[in-house]
C-alpha cells in the first residue's frame, strides 16, 4: 500500500468515527467497560497473589509423628518419602532422644520420675516439615497420612487458618476474574458484531466497487485500535484515582493486609490493556466482518 493510501485510510477512519458518532460512542463505551473490568480483574489477581505470598510464613510447619514402635533406622528412611511429596521444601528428623530432651526442658514436671526407657514408649520421634505454599497444606497432610510409619500429623494452627483464608480468597478471585473476562469479551464481541451488521451493506458496496478485503478492513481496524487506546487511557485515569481510594477505605477496616501500591503496577497494567485492546480492536472487527466480505 502506498503512503497516500495509508494516509487516506487513516483520514477515512477519523471521518467515519466523526460521521457515525453514535456508534463511536457505543464502541468507546463498551471498550472502556471491557478495559475497566479487565483492569479490576488484574488488580484482584495481583493482590490475591500477594496475599498468598504474605501467608507463606516461614515459621509455619507440619509435624509428622512417627509410630512409637518404629526403630530409629526405619524412621530415618521415612525422610526420603517425605522429600518426594509435592510442596514440601524441607524436612528435619527429630529422634526420640531429642523429643525427650525437649519435653524435659519445656515441661519438667510432666516427665519427672520416668526413666528414659519408659519415656521412649511415650514420646515418639517426629519430622518437622516446611513448605512454601500454604494452600498445599491439605495435599501434604493427605500424602503424609499414606505413609504407614506415620502415626499422626499436626498442623500449625495459625498457618492452617491462613491457608483456609487464602484458599477461599483465591477461589473467589478466580471465579470473579473468569466471570469478568467472559462478560467483557462477550460484551465487546456482541457490540462489534452489531456494528459490523450495521455496516454490512456498505461493505458489500465496497466489494462491488472492487475494493480488496484489506482495504475494507483497514479503516475498521484503525478505528478499533484508536478506540482501544482512548479506552485504555480513560481506564488508567479512573484506576489511578479509584484504586488508591479503595485501598484507603480498606485499610481503615484493620484487614491486616497491605495492598500492592498502584505505582508498581501501572506500567504492567497499561501494557496489558493496550495489548488486549488492540487485539480486540483488530481481530474483533475483522472476525466479525468476515462473512460480509464474502460477496
Partner 1 sequence: MIEFRNITKVYSTGIAAVNKVSLFIEKGEFVFIVGSSGCGKSTLMKMMMKEVEPSSGHIFINGIDITRISKRRIPNLRRSMGIVFQDFRLLFDKTVYENVAYAMRVIEADPKLIKKQVPNVLSLVGLLDKADFYPDQLSGGEQQRVAIARAIVNNPAVLIADEPTGNLDPDTAWEIMSLLSDINRRGTTVVVATHAKDIVDKMQKRVIAVKNGSVYSDKESSGYVEDHGTGIVENPKDYSHLTKHNFPWSRRKAGV
Q: How far is the CB of 133 from partner 1 (least distance, A)?
A: 54
Q: What is the DSSP letter of 57?
A: -
- Footprint on residues 4-43 left by partner 1 (CB under 8 A): 4-5, 8, 15-16, 19-20
Backbone torsion region of residue 113, taken as left when φ is above 0, otherwise alpha when ψ lies between -120 and 50, otherwise beta: left
Q: How far is the CB of 239 from partner 1 (least distance, A)?
A: 34
Q: How far is the CB of 212 from partner 1 (least distance, A)?
A: 5
Looking at the Cβ atoms of 156 and 204, the one nearer to partner 1 is 204
Other C-beta atoms closer than 10 Å to the C-beta of 35 total 29
Looking at the Cβ atoms of 106 and 209, the one nearer to partner 1 is 209
How many residues interact with partner 1 (rule CB under 8 A)?
Answer: 22
Minimal CA–CA distance to 189: which of 282, 286, 288?
288
Q: How far is the CB of 217 from partner 1 (least distance, A)?
A: 13
* Residue 291 interacting with partner 1 (CB under 8 A): no
Name every residue whose Cβ is closer than 8 Å to that of residue 183 and which is 6 or more positions away in sequence: 37
Looking at the Cβ atoms of 92 and 214, the one nearer to partner 1 is 214
Binding mask 192-231 for partner 1 (x = CB under 8 A): ---------xx-xxxxxxxxx--x----------------
- Footprint on residues 140-159 left by partner 1 (CB under 8 A): none
Q: Rounded CA gap, 22 and 37, in Å? A: 23
Q: What would the 3-class secondary structure string for 83-108 be?
A: HCCCCEEEEEEECHHHHHHHHHHHCH
Return the sign of the alpha-carbon dihedral for residues 190, 195, 198, 203.
Answer: negative
Looking at the Cβ atoms of 36 and 218, the one nearer to partner 1 is 218
Q: How far is the CB of 204 from partner 1 (least distance, A)?
A: 8
Q: Rounded CA gap, 174 and 182, in Å? A: 12
The end-to-end CA distance of the chain, in Å, is 23
Return the sign of the alpha-carbon dihedral for residues 119, 123, 125, 131.
Answer: negative
Looking at the Cβ atoms of 99 and 203, the one nearer to partner 1 is 203
Minimal CA–CA distance to 78: which of 142, 136, 146, 156?
146
Looking at the Cβ atoms of 22 and 146, the one nearer to partner 1 is 22
Q: How far is the CB of 43 from partner 1 (least distance, A)?
A: 39
Looking at the Cβ atoms of 215 and 266, the one nearer to partner 1 is 215
Q: Rounded CA gap, 127 and 262, in Å? A: 42
Q: How far is the CB of 9 from partner 1 (least distance, A)?
A: 9
| Interface ranges with partner 1 (CB under 8 A) | 1-2, 4-5, 8, 15-16, 19-20, 201-202, 204-212, 215, 295
Amino acid at each position: 500500500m502506498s503512503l497516500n493510501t495509508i494516509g487516506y485510510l487513516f483520514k477515512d477512519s477519523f471521518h467515519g468515527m466523526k460521521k457515525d458518532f453514535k456508534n463511536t460512542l457505543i464502541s468507546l463505551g463498551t471498550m472502556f467497560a471491557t478495559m475497566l473490568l479487565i483492569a479490576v480483574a488484574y488488580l484482584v489477581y495481583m493482590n490475591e497473589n500477594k496475599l498468598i505470598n504474605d501467608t507463606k510464613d516461614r515459621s509455619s510447619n507440619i509435624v509428622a509423628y512417627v509410630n512409637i514402635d518404629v526403630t530409629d533406622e526405619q524412621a530415618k528412611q521415612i525422610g526420603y518419602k517425605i522429600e518426594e511429596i509435592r510442596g514440601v521444601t524441607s524436612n528435619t528428623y527429630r529422634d526420640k532422644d531429642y523429643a525427650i530432651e525437649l519435653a524435659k526442658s519445656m515441661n519438667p514436671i510432666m516427665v519427672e520420675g520416668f526413666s528414659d526407657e519408659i519415656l521412649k514408649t511415650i514420646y515418639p520421634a517426629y519430622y518437622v516439615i516446611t513448605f512454601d505454599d500454604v494452600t498445599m497444606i491439605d495435599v501434604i497432610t493427605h500424602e503424609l497420612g499414606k505413609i504407614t510409619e506415620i502415626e499422626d500429623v499436626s498442623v500449625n494452627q495459625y498457618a492452617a487458618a491462613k491457608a483456609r483464608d487464602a484458599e477461599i480468597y483465591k477461589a473467589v478471585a478466580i471465579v470473579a476474574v473468569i466471570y469478568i473476562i467472559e462478560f467483557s469479551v462477550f460484551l465487546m464481541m456482541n457490540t462489534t458484531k452489531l456494528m459490523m451488521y450495521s455496516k454490512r451493506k456498505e461493505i458489500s458496496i465496497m466489494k462491488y466497487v472492487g475494493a480488496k478485503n484489506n482495504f475494507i478492513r483497514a479503516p475498521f481496524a484503525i478505528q478499533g485500535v484508536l478506540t482501544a487506546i482512548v479506552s485504555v487511557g480513560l481506564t488508567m485515569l479512573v484506576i489511578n484515582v479509584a484504586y488508591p481510594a479503595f485501598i484507603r477505605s480498606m485499610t481503615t477496616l484493620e484487614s491486616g493486609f497491605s495492598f500492592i501500591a498502584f505505582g508498581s503496577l501501572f506500567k504492567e497494567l497499561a501494557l496489558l490493556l493496550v495489548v488486549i485492546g488492540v487485539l480486540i480492536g483488530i481481530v474483533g472487527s475483522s472476525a466479525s466482518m468476515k462473512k460480509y466480505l464474502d460477496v
